[in-house]
Amino acid sequence: MVNFFERVLQHPNYYRQFNCGQSLITAFNCPMEARLMKTRFADLWTQYNYLFYVIDGEKTWHTARGSYHIQKDSCVFVRKGGFILEQLMDTGFCVMLFFIPDQFICDTLYSRTKPLQKYEQQHEPVMLLESSEMLQGFFLSMSAYFAGMEDPDPSLLELKFKELVLNIADNAVNKDLLSYFCTLLHRPQAILLQRVMEDNFCYNLKLDVYAELSNRSLSAFKRDFEKIFNCTPGKWLLEKRLQYALHLLSNQHKTVGEAAFESGFESASHFSRAFKTRFGKGPAAMRNEVLV
């Protein structure tokens, strides 16, 4: 999978970028943006959460929990991890984009005079925010910086990042995202690791990426994983992906190639071998039985 954050950094001609430590703000305004996507689908991941405002165009984000069609004037927060991005080839996609690390979010929320109210509901990988007057005013103020010739000072950018997070935290309508903020502030590390794995098992990511997403070193990730799941990450991922592939073949009538791709296998041949070893018959035979 391609690292979305690094991909943005590698294309300064397409993205005007303002950097602030590990955070990045970038504006994108290119009708020919399809040049960056050679196919309709791109499997991507990022180690940072990101928020974006859609100036024009539309795309679809596919995740383990569902698909999200994003259109013009949407303000969207996407949790760090993997996703499949579907390009509508006849449209451009112009956005104002903000990458925001977990620690920056936590540090900013801790600085609030009024503690963040606790929200217990589940939060999705992709969350649409209410486009309030405050949020619209924020994006308007940022557009002035992007229209200017000089880059703003990094200390000013840091204040703008904090303003964005605090604006969101002050709007009780954004319950899904506030629930995620509460998770960052109050939930133990074990729950973070479980959530990372459940949300990202179906992507072909390396173990060191899963470790980074759960804020751990690789050795700490392996140790904590075995304590929580009572097996190694490799065995758990294989079983989880095979069960998900079986669901795709049996209940959603996916092709073998689609099931292999959507459940995180490197290739259809590797998928077929592993599937037959686990279930006693190949995925094509299993699919044919269901369709009869």
pLDDT of 121 reads 66
Q: How confident is the model at residue 51 (pLDDT cuts 50, 70, 90)?
A: very high
- Specify the pLDDT at position 197: 94
The predicted structure's pLDDT at residue 60: 92
CB neighbours of residue 244 within 10 Å: 17
Kindly report, residue by residue over 196-226, the tens digit of the pLDDT.
Answer: 999 999 999 999 999 999 999 999 999 999 9
Q: What is the band of 42 on the pLDDT scale with cuts at 50, 70, 90?
A: confident
- Which stretches of the chain are DSSP H helices? 4-9, 102-110, 133-147, 154-169, 175-186, 189-200, 207-213, 218-229, 233-251, 256-262, 268-279, 283-291
- For 124, phi then psi, to 5°, come to -85, 160
Half-sphere exposure of 265 (CA within 13 A, CB side): 25
Instruction: Calculate the average pLDDT of the chain.
Output: 87
* Average confidence (pLDDT) over 181-193: 84
Q: What is the CA radius of gyration of the chain?
A: 20
What does the block give as tokens for 101? 């690390």
Cα dist from 238 to 93, 264, 265, whole Å: 35, 9, 9
Report the alpha-carbon distance of residue 37 to residue 17 in Å, rounded: 20
pLDDT at 78 over 90: yes
**What is the full DSSP assignment across 55-122?**
EEE-EEEEETTEEEEE-TT-EEEE-SEEEEEEE-TTS-EEEEEEEE-HHHHHHHHHT-SSPPPP--S-
| Six token digits for residue 5 | 């954050």
Q: In the numeric block, which tokens belong to residue 151?
A: 């880059």
In tens, the pLDDT along 229-262 reads 999 999 999 999 999 999 998 888 889 999 998 9
Q: How far, in Å, are 17, 160, 252 from residue 152 at the CA level?
A: 11, 10, 50
Rounded-to-integer distance, Cα 72 and Cα 93, Å: 9
Please name every residue paired with 97 in a beta bridge, in sequence order, or none if there are none: 26, 52
